[in-house]
Amino acid sequence: MKTLRYILASLIVVAAGMPAFSQVAADSTKAPKQFKNVIRYNLSGPLLFGFDYIVFGYERVIKPNQTMSMNFGQASLPKIVDFSTDDATLEGTSNNTGINFSLDYRFYLKKENKYGAPRGVYIGPFYSYNRFNRDSEWKLEESAGTSTASAGTKIEIHTIGAEVGYQFALGKRFTIDLVMIGPGVANYKLNTALASNLTPEQKEKLLNAVKELITEKFPGMDYTLEDATIDSKGNFNIWNAGYRYIIHLGFRF
């Protein structure tokens, strides 16, 4: 009889625990929650231009496997410690400001991705705008000695293209977003403000120095400005190839 009572008691305990076990099993098979929003920080900008480059973004799922994202923030040219040409030496810079703005529309490839957007492989078009401002002071080498001159430079870049990327999930909430391939067409516009009292020779030396500075210290501008000609007023406006490569750290919710 003791054995029978022990068996019955055991069956009662097991039966009582079945609903809870069933609920746990059901919860474990439940599909993971799909987060529709991502806020993110641009990591690649500071690595290329310095930590004054601060750009944040937001991505939102608007249709199954489709998202739209926007990025906006403060841009700046890289800081320069030492630079000189045969005719000019950079003495200092100031007013180093700028902005970055971009939009893209992403199609997350359903057949390639295990999870829904915004996660996995994506393709889509993009538009980006960058503006950089900087004032610079120069010492010019001349036959009669040296002279000083200043230049105010503004660079504007409009780029339209297509991108291929992948957004990884790090745990439940964090993401790494990689725009790996982003070819496009870009319009590059330079405006240089020079003092009116400079001689033609001084202007030429100063403009050549500004061009060399941008070409050598601005990432990606070496091939863009290789054949560009700055006019006597310190301007150029050209179309050339553009490219987009970005690393974002994100938080989804």
Same domain, 20 and 44: no
Same domain, 133 and 204: yes
Q: How far apart are CA 98 and CA 52, in angstroms?
A: 10
Q: What is the dihedral of CA 203, 207, 210, 214, to 10 degrees?
A: 170
Same domain, 152 and 229: yes
46-60 pLDDT, tens digit each: 998 899 999 999 999
Same domain, 18 and 66: no
Same domain, 26 and 67: no
Same domain, 106 and 43: yes
Same domain, 100 and 56: yes
What integer best gives the mean pLDDT of the chain? 86
Q: Does the pLDDT value for residue 189 go beyond 50?
A: yes
Q: How far apart are CA 150 and CA 20, in angstroms?
A: 77
247 close to 177: Cβ distance less than 8 angstroms: yes
Higher pLDDT, 58 or 197: 58
Same domain, 110 and 4: no
201 Ramachandran zone, left/alpha/beta (phi>0; psi -120 to 50): alpha
Most confident region among 4-13, 15-24, 156-165 by mean pLDDT? 156-165
Q: Which domain holds residue 16?
A: 1-30
CA angle 122/127/132 to nearest 5° reads: 130
Same domain, 209 and 145: yes
Same domain, 2 and 51: no
Q: How far apart are CA 214 and CA 155, in angstroms?
A: 10
Same domain, 18 and 65: no
pLDDT category of residue 63 using cuts at 50, 70 and 90: very high
Q: How far apart are CA 15 and CA 217, in angstroms?
A: 74
Same domain, 44 and 152: yes
Q: Does the pLDDT value for residue 179 go beyond 90?
A: yes
Q: Does the pLDDT value for residue 23 go beyond 90?
A: no
Q: Does the pLDDT value for residue 26 go beyond 80?
A: no
Total domains, the chain:
2
pLDDT category of residue 79 using cuts at 50, 70 and 90: confident
At 221 the pLDDT is 81
At 31 the pLDDT is 57
| Averaged pLDDT for residues 3-14 | 40
What CA–CA distances, in Å, run from 11 to 2, 3, 20? Answer: 14, 12, 15
Q: Residue 105, Cα to own-chain centre: how many angstroms?
A: 15
At 165 the pLDDT is 98
Q: Does the pLDDT value for residue 251 go beyond 50?
A: yes
118-175 pLDDT, tens digit each: 999 999 999 999 999 999 999 999 887 889 999 999 999 999 999 999 999 999 999 9
What percentage of residues in the chain have a pLDDT greater than 70? 87
| Averaged pLDDT for residues 59-78 | 96
At 219 the pLDDT is 79
User: Which DSSP letter does residue 228 get?
Assistant: -
At 41 the pLDDT is 98
Higher pLDDT, 212 or 166: 166
pLDDT category of residue 215 using cuts at 50, 70 and 90: confident
Q: How many CA atoms lie within 13 A of 188 on its CB side?
A: 23
| Averaged pLDDT for residues 10-26 | 40
